[in-house]
Amino acid sequence: MAREKSDSANVKKAAAEKKPVEKEIPAAVSPASTAKEAAPAPEKTAAAKKKTAPAAKEAEPAPKAAPAAKEAEPVKKAAPATKETEPAKKTAPVAKEAEPAKKAAPAAKEAEPAKKAAPTAKKAEPAKKTASTAKKAEPAKKTAATKKKAASADKRKAKAPVVEPESTPAVAEPAPVMEEPNLPRRSVAFIGSECHPFVKTGGLGDVMYALPRELARLNCDVRVILPRYACIPQEYQNKMIYRGEFYMDLGNTGRSYYVGIMEYIWDGVVYDFIDNEEFFSWGNPYTNLVDDIPKYCFFSKAALAALNYMNWIPDVVHCHDWQAALVPVYLRTLFKDSPVGRARSVITIHNLRFQGVYNIPTIKYWSGLPDEAFGMGALKQDWVEANMLKGGLAYADRITTVSGTYAWEIQTSEYGERLEDHLRYHSHKLRGIVNGIDYGMWNPETDPALAENYSLGNVLDHKMANKLALQKELGLEQDTGKFVIGLISRLTNQKGLDLVNAIVPQVLDGNTQVVVLGTGDKQYEDAFRAYEGSYKGTFSACIQYDEGRAHRIYAGADALLVPSRFEPCGLTQLNAMHYGTLPIVRETGGLKDTVEPYNEFNGEGNGFTFDRYDAGLLLDAINRAKSLYFNNRYHWDEVVQRDMAKDVSWEKSARQYKDLYLELTQW
Ligand code: ADP
Ligand code: GLC
């Protein structure tokens, strides 16, 4: 956010200095023509290739604000930090498009910019390709294209077998589990920027994994389209199968971009990874807006072009968060006359804080969207900014968010992140559907990460063993009598960590231990590390991203803190309940919808809650939890069992998504 604001401030400043933004457009275009010139000389050395990359950078009108953007980006947990700082990688992709085998073709391509403007059927359907295009994009030929693909695969050390393109339209039909084959069948393309286990920085990754699987059980034919980031673990890269490739123009860059499709079919869901080293070779999915805006313009457009290319036209395109928010816009503009143009669209807001905001010339430049998309009712925001999420919300047929309360909250100025009016305007197509968790991935009875497995029937016998093992693992005093509070979170301003920091000394009363697992903003990382230093054996700060450890904390802790400032849904409280760990949450968003406050008079409820964003109220909620734990263990244990029995699966919610798809596609 901070980043987006400073960018807009720069642009406003430029405007005030009588440098009309429009004047920046030519500036933005000219470097691309440099790139254009460079492209036909594919055999150029690394040094020459480097030349094109900086040129592209210069094309971005407001690059100076980059550092601030970091604050706005989700914490990057999934990937090794080192890669981030390797700018040299940016040049590599150019090389990809510029491989010697393609010499003639790129030149021809770039000489025909007019043709690129139709990114849809013509380009995407292999059958219709012209001879010159075929050289680059026709996967049937085991010539240059195959070699190129092989080279690309080599680069990534992928041992993926090559699928003959003739089989392309057959699309290795997924074998959906189809537990309910009597339900009407619908096909859905999920488009988003992360998905467990390939790449995950937070709950979006969990949802992109779990919901498609559940939908497959409800007789949906689901295809998940993701970027093929270099940080996807090799074990999955190895399983991907080459599905094809083509070239696609992008915005006003004047260039033709490689789009490879690598496929992996797993448990009834097809995963198609969009391959392009220029955009996806960084160590992390998200870097900063200067890079991420072009990256996700490319991704959104390539995802639709890939559907056309594969000739797999879904009934519904379901896209997620700002990174895929241009999908509904493309669908109704550049792709409207192509096969995929007949799909209906749904956009899900997982986190309204991130919107993909930049100045209009930049987003026009990279997206190539027509002027009509930049009206006040769509992408345009204030005077000079374009907001990708805002555009997606305007063009989508339906908007969902991940809890009913958040659907309501985001229409208020407190939670609306400046889009409250826009959301109120579109409220007729907005609804909240609460997230669930995947019972296969989160199951204390079978979870291989745990010291001892347990289920609802024997939780009281085994939870203590997990607590002792956790204490040992983290160097805490091993004592089953201690009340262990866990916190598993991205360490960002959203998560209510100021409240936690303010009360740690009061919480640590001699009978309580606190375990924090997370990475993120330095201020929080440092604060938690400092507490660990001061309270050795009592406070543990695990400043890391560690799936296995997260599972062990859910199992070994007695309570889990989620005191968020805002929380669209929240999954950690669901995981905790399913593992018999009582949540202590702020009553906001999905936390409010999923945790019923414990009622000391009738013993009902699932956890402990507080309403206002106030450290004293958080402390009070923790003290209420402690007092039940220490003074009335019988009732505490009842709540443990009630929470484990609570249905927090995806089943009900997936049905609501299915109903939504059916509503949109009545035939
Ligand atoms: P958000 O998407 O806002 O980060 P959610 O509660 O929806 O929050 O989802 C967070 C997901 O990420 C959960 O599956 C949680 O277990 C996981 N997670 C968060 N931080 C870590 C970490 N440091 N190590 C392992 N898993 C983590
Ligand atoms: C976002 C939200 C979180 C939600 C997750 C999955 O990252 O912050 O509340 O659970 O997306 O929808």
Give the model confidence (pLDDT) of 520-566 as tens digits.
999 999 999 999 999 999 999 999 999 999 999 999 999 999 999 99
Q: Are residues 355 and 303 in the same domain?
A: yes
Determine the Cα angle at 79 with ends 74 and 85, to 5°.
85
- Verify that 560 and 429 share a domain, yes or no: no
For residue 242, give the H/E element and its range: strand 241-249
Residues facing 224 on adjacent strands: 190, 271
> Are 659 and 629 in the same domain?
no
316-320 vs 344-349, strand pairing mode: parallel
Pocket test of ligand 2: the residue of 286, 351, 401 to mutate, having most ligand atoms within 8 Å of its CB, is 351
Does residue 447 lie within any of the structural domains? no
CA distance 174 to 165: 17
Please state, in angstroms and as integers, the Cα–Cα distance from residue 305 to each residue in 53, 245, 299, 388, 402, following that order: 24, 11, 10, 19, 28
| Element holding 577 (H helix, E strand) | helix 572-578
205 CB less than 6 Å from ligand 2?
no
The per-residue pLDDT for 551 is 98
Q: In terms of domains, do 367 and 502 share one?
A: no
* Residue 441 domain-assigned (yes or no): no
Residue 68 has pLDDT above 80, yes or no: no
Pick the more confident residue, 4 or 222: 222
Which of 118-127, 304-313, 413-422, 627-636 has the least mean pLDDT?
118-127
Contacts of 208 (CB under 8 A, 6+ apart): 190, 192, 194, 195, 196, 224, 226, 320
Rounded Cα distance, 227 and 229, in Å:
6
Query: Are both 505 and 404 inside the same structural domain?
Result: no
Q: Which of 195, 320, 571, 577 to mutate to test the pocket of ligand 1 (most atoms within 8 A of CB)?
A: 571
> Residues 565, 494: contact at Cβ < 8 Å?
yes
- pLDDT at position 282 is 81
In a domain, 448, yes or no: no
Q: What percent of the chain has pLDDT over 70?
A: 73
pLDDT tens string 175-221: 445 567 788 999 999 999 999 999 999 999 999 999 999 999 999 99
Question: Residue 373's Cα: distance from chain center in Å?
Answer: 24
User: Quick one: tokens of 598?
Assistant: 């414990």
Residue 3 banded pLDDT, cuts 50, 70, 90: very low
pLDDT of residue 178: 58
Across all residues in the chain, what is the average pLDDT?
Answer: 80
| 357 and 490 co-located in one domain | no
Question: Which residue has better confidence, 623 or 79?
Answer: 623
pLDDT of residue 46: 31
pLDDT tens track for 588-619: 999 999 999 999 999 999 999 999 999 999 99
Handedness of CA 448, 452, 458, 464 (dihedral sign): negative
Q: Structure tokens of 384?
A: 């000079």
pLDDT at site 90:
33
The finding on whether 569 has its CB within 6 A of some atom of ligand 2 is yes
**Residue 124 covered by a domain:** yes
**Rounded Cα–Cα distance for residues 52 and 37 (Å):** 9
Of 121-135, 457-471, 566-580, the one with minimum mean pLDDT is 121-135
Query: For residue 30, what is the domain's CATH number?
Result: 3.40.50.2000
Instruction: Give the 3-state DSSP-derived string for 622-638, with helices as H, strands as E and coil as C.
Output: HHHHHHHHHHCHHHHHH
**Structure tokens, 295:** 């990256």
Choosing from 73, 75, 76, 77 the residue with most ligand 1 atoms within 8 A of its CB, the one to mutate for a pocket test is 77
Residue 268 confidence class, pLDDT cut points 50, 70, 90: confident
Same domain, 400 and 487: no
Residue 272 CB partners (closer than 8 Å, separation 6+): 223, 224, 225, 226, 243, 261, 262, 263, 306, 310
Residue 33: per-residue pLDDT: 31
Residue 260 within any structural domain of the chain: yes
Q: Tell how far the Cα of 198 is from the centroid of ligand 1, in angstroms.
A: 15
Q: What is the pLDDT averaged over residues 433-453?
A: 98
Tell me the mean pLDDT in the region 636-663.
Answer: 98
Contacts of 8 (CB under 8 A, 6+ apart): 357, 359, 382, 384, 385
Q: CA-CA distance, 243 to 265, in Å (whole number)? A: 12
From the CA of 202, how far away is ligand 1's center (Å)?
5
**Of residues 439, 441, 437, the one with CA closest to residue 449:** 441
Q: Which residues line ligand 1 (CB under 6 A)?
A: 77, 202-204, 206, 488-490, 517-519, 545-547, 550, 569-572, 575
Which position has the token pair 């406050």? 597
User: Mean per-residue pLDDT for 15-40?
Assistant: 30
Residues 518 and 431 in one domain: no
The closest ligand to the CA of 350 turns out to be 2
Instruction: Give domain status of residue 523, yes or no.
Output: yes
Does residue 154 lie within any of the structural domains?
yes
| 497 in the same domain as 394 | no
Distance (Å, whole) CA 50 – CA 31:
13
**How far apart, in whole angstroms, are the C-alpha atoms of residue 235 and residue 3?**
35
**Choice among 98-112, 267-281, 494-508, 651-665 with the minimum mean pLDDT:** 98-112
Q: How far is CA 464 from CA 115, 452, 472, 498, 629, in A?
A: 67, 9, 12, 30, 14
Per-residue pLDDT for 224 more than 70?
yes
DSSP string, 255-306: -EEEEEEEEEEETTEEEEEEE-HHHH-SSSS---HHHHHHHHHHHHHHHHHH
> Are 161 and 38 members of one domain?
yes
Number of domains in the chain: 2
- What pLDDT, on the 0 to 100 scale, is given for residue 180? 73
Q: Is the overall model pTM greater than 0.95, yes or no?
A: no
| Residue-wise pLDDT tens digits, 350-385 | 999 999 999 999 999 999 999 999 999 999 999 899
* 326 in the same domain as 209: yes
Cα–Cα dist 638/628, whole Å: 11
Bridge pairing between strands 385-387 and 398-401 = unpaired
Answer yes or no: is the C-beta of 572 below 6 A from any ligand 2 atom: no
Q: Would 289 be classed as within a structural domain?
A: yes
- 402 CA closest ligand 2 atom index: 12
Q: Is the pLDDT of residue 490 over 90?
A: yes
> pLDDT confidence of 267, banded at 50, 70, 90?
confident
Strand partners, 272: 225, 263
| CA 305-311-313 angle, 5° bins | 80
585 lines ligand 2 (CB under 6 A): no
- Residues whose CB falls within 8 Å of the CB of residue 572, separated by 6 or more in sequence, listed in order: 488, 489, 554, 560, 562, 583
**pLDDT at residue number 177:** 54
The Cβ-side half-sphere exposure at 432, using a 13 Å CA radius, reads: 21
The band of 507, judged by pLDDT with boundaries at 50, 70 and 90, is very high
C-alpha 348 to ligand 1 mean position (Å): 18
Ligand nearest to the CA of 592: 2
Looking at the CA of 437, name the nearest ligand. 1
Domain that holds residue 532: 459-647
Do 616 and 481 have their domain in common? yes
Do residues 514 and 538 touch, judged by C-beta distance below 8 A?
Answer: yes
